[in-house]
Amino acid sequence: MSGEERRWSFLALACLAVVLSLTTWFSATAVIPELKARWQLGAAAAAWLTNGVQAGFVFGALASSILGLPDRWRLNRMMAGAAALAGAANLVLLIEPGAVVAILARFVTGIALAGVYPPAIKLMATWFRKERGLALGLLIAALTLGSALPHLVRAIGAGIDWRVVVSASSLCAFVSAAIFAHALHEGPFPFARSVVDPRQVGAIIRDRPVMLANLGYFGHMWELYAMWGWFLAYAGAAFAAGNPIFSGNVSLLTFAVIAVGALGAAGGGLMADRVGRCNTTALSMALSGACALLIGVFFDGPSWLFVAVALVWGVSVVADSAQFSAAVTELAEPHLVGSALAFQMGIGFAITIVAIWMVPLFGGAIGGWRWAFLLLVPGPAIGAAAMLALRADRSALKLAGGRR
The reply to whether omega before 302 is within 30° of 0 (cis) is yes
Closest among 25, 31, 16, 122 to 76, alpha carbons compared: 122
* pLDDT of res. 299: 92
Radius of gyration of the chain (CA): 20
For the chain, the structural domain boundaries read 3-393
> Which whole number is the average pLDDT over 307-324?
94
pLDDT at 133 over 60: yes
Find the range with the poorest average confidence among 1-5, 84-88, 173-177, 385-389: 1-5
CA–CA–CA angle 379, 231, 108 (5° rounding): 80
User: Do 350 and 58 contact (CB within 8 A), yes or no?
Assistant: yes
Q: Kindly give the residue spans of alpha helices, DSSP state H, lying in 207-260.
A: 208-240, 250-259
The per-residue pLDDT of the chain, averaged, comes to: 87
What contacts 240, CB < 8 A, 6 or more positions away?
none
Q: What is the pTM of this model?
A: 0.86
CA–CA–CA angle 182, 185, 188 (5° rounding): 150
* pLDDT of res. 56: 94
Q: Classify domain 3-393 at the CATH superfamily level.
A: MFS general substrate transporter like domains (1.20.1250.20)
- pLDDT tens column, 206-252: 989 999 999 999 999 999 999 998 898 899 899 988 888 877 788 88
Averaging pLDDT over each range in 71-75, 128-132, 192-196, 388-392, which range is the top one? 388-392
- How many Cα atoms within 13 Å fall on the side-chain side of residue 255? 16
User: Do 39 and 98 contact (CB within 8 A), yes or no?
Assistant: yes
- pLDDT tens column, 241-289: 888 887 778 888 988 999 999 999 999 989 988 888 899 999 999 999 9
Closest among 313, 321, 283 to 376, alpha carbons compared: 313
What contacts 61, CB < 8 A, 6 or more positions away?
114, 118, 342, 343, 345, 346, 349
CA-to-CA separations, 200 to 23, 74, 204, 332, in angstroms, rounded = 32, 19, 6, 11
- How many Cα atoms within 13 Å fall on the side-chain side of residue 52? 24
Q: Kindly give the residue spans of alpha helices, DSSP state H, lying in 276-377.
A: 277-297, 303-319, 321-331, 337-365
